Amino acid sequence: MNPMAVGNDLEPGYHLPDQKENTADRLQRQFCELEKRFGKYFDNLENVVEVCELTQAGVKEIAEENAEIQATLYSAVKEMNEKVEKIKRERKCNTHVQEDKIYDAAKTNALRYTTSAPVCCYIEIGCTLGFNSVSA
């Protein structure tokens, strides 16, 4: 069998080591390699586009989750602030009530245990009656 005949039967781009590659075969081989690279390039490009789309969808999903979390936190903080304000108002009212109770208790004890306290009480009553009669 003729080695040259076997070399000619092979696909373009394949040649025997002692056979010189002609220009047409070399160009054909390079064209086939370019076609393979072209196919791989577009396969990779499709993969990159798919990854970009998935990334963009993931970013949107994360943004939506962050918005939900922020809304939940905002409402929780607002609710806590309302509770704190309510507690402050209640403490303020309770403080006044407690101060009044302390004042009334002190006044009661003073009336009960001192001799000048009933005198002061009678003077207070007399002044009140006097001012009421003058103003009438």
**Does 52 map to a domain?**
yes
CB 21 within 8 A of CB 15: yes
Q: Please report whether residue 3 resides in a domain.
A: no
pLDDT band at 3; cut points 50, 70, 90: very low
DSSP track, 12-65 = TT---TTSPPPHHHHHHHHHHHHHHHHHHHHHHHHHHHHHHHHHHHHHHHHHHH
Give the length of the chain.
136
110 is a domain residue: yes
HSE-CB at 102 with a 13 A cutoff on CA atoms is: 6
- Range of 68's domain? 9-135
Q: What is the pLDDT of residue 14?
A: 55
Whether 130 is in a domain gets the answer yes
Residue 115 falls inside a structural domain:
yes
In a domain, 1, yes or no: no
The tens digit of pLDDT for each residue in 14-72 reads 555 556 678 888 899 999 999 999 888 888 888 888 888 888 888 888 888 888 888 88
The answer to whether residue 68 is domain-embedded is yes
Structural domain count, the chain: 1
Residue 94 lies in a domain: yes
The one-letter amino acid code at 70 reads Q
- How does pLDDT run across 98-130, given as a tens digit for each residue? 666 666 766 676 666 666 666 776 777 777 777
Which pLDDT band holds residue 95 (cuts at 50, 70, 90)? low
